[in-house]
Structure 1
């Protein structure tokens, strides 16, 4: 693996805490989770991590397959309204939103228990097509470069988005270094907000 489970948990927990402080929907924040994660991987690990957006599908066990995108005339498609984002780095796929997948499935009406795991798998183990997504941990991602570039251009014009990613990067420290349990940031109204890591449930294993 590129990073340990404990460091993955740290990156996810920081991004999650910052999103909660901004009252963002953590079930629909794949861009922030993964831009934040990619920035940290580049800065702290010197890993050339890049974010892609497009169609994605993950097998979460039993009969639970979570898909992002659409099917048009039998073709797997994505758009700026229907997409998912993930990280590709050194032949690996990493998705820092994966611990939220149980909540996403719950919001779609699936009440079967799904474990909170990290998503970190070799890209060469990806399913050849949707019909090959049969077992827990199987996945399929199809980048759409037009969608990827358009979303990136929009995000790069958002000073708030960039500031929050930088805050996450400054907060993060690799193990065995200690990391602050909380930080203070100034919101858009000049008020000081305290952000804590408490409330983030543990991640058990990986897909």
Structure 2
């Protein structure tokens, strides 16, 4: 595969930045309202974002789980890595070591990219990371996880068996599917306006309100 670089010619994204930001904000806000462990929520992000892309954008989007590597800072050699690397350099992923993203019409879209900084913090590696959109043509993926050279370079190793297993587990948990439906009910495709908050009814009939967290996405990887 072609190695990506910061000098590569830009390609038009499938999803405009404003739409990406709104999808991220809705999912992030709903998860935060139930005090979810955000760094561990990549599969929820991916399943729900794929459903939004199917419903509102008529895109052939689907969640994928596996190993993932992203270079976020070349000077410090800082790369986010999800999965396991064996002594022979072989990459693997499982239920305890994985990441999830959306694949859609030849692109990889990671809706957790705006909270990469929080993912590093959770792993004990505190450092500032820009809040940017990650939406890349898969043809620009680096040849391997050792070939990452410029910020935004990436390498993904999909695990279809893991993806199927996690999707079955997700669909079997009513609490997760209900939260995902809340995101779809709340979302409005730009330029339509969207309510700043949403009423959520609890299991006992109590009503709470979810406020939209306005985390800004500044630029692209």
Q: Place the TM-score, normalised by the shorter chain, in its bin.
A: over 0.9
Which digits, 9 at most, give the CA deviation of each residue in 1:51-110, with x for residues without a partner? 110100111123210000011232111001111000100011001111111111123333
Aligned pairs, how many?
Answer: 206
| 8 Å Cα contact 2:46/2:64 also seen in 1 | no
Query: 1:163: Cα distance to partner?
Result: 1.3
**Over aligned residues, Cα RMSD in angstroms?**
1.1
Q: Which residue of 2 aligns with 1:167?
A: 182
Q: State whether residues 111 and 134 of structure 2, in contact with CA within 8 Å, keep that contact through their aligned partners in structure 1.
A: yes
Equivalence for 2:16:
4
Q: Distance in 1 between matches of 2:66 and 2:126?
A: 26
Q: 1: distance between equivalents of 2:127 and 2:36?
A: 25
The separation in 2 between residues aligned to 1:36 and 1:60, in whole angstroms, is 25
Report the TM-score, using the length of structure 1 for normalisation: 0.96
SS state at 2:124 partner: coil
**Counterpart in the other structure of 2:146:** 131
SS for the counterpart of 2:146 is helix
| TM-score, length basis structure 2 | 0.90
* Structure 1, unaligned runs of 5 or more: none
Which SS does the other structure have where 2:220 is aligned?
Answer: coil
- 1:113 is aligned, of 105, 120, 128, to 128
Deviations 1:127-167 (A, max 9, x none): 11012111100001111111111101101111111111111
1-structure distance, mates of 2:44, 2:146: 30
Q: Which ranges in structure 2 are unaligned for 5 or more consecutive residues?
A: 1-12
Q: Distance in 2 between matches of 1:107 and 1:25?
A: 10
Q: Hey, what's the Cα distance between the residues in 1 that align with 2:190 and 2:155?
A: 31
Q: 1:93 aligns with which of 82, 97, 108?
A: 108
Check if 1:37 corresponds to 2:49.
yes
Secondary structure of 1:93's counterpart equals strand
CA distance in 2 between counterparts of 1:72 and 1:38 reads: 31
| Aligned equivalent of 1:193 | 208
The runs of at least 4 aligned residues of structure 1 exceeding 6 Å deviation read none
After superposition, the C-alpha distances for 1:32-51 in whole angstroms (9 at most, x for unaligned) are 11111100000000000011
Tell me which residue corresponds to 1:57. 69
Q: Does 1:19 align with 2:34?
A: no
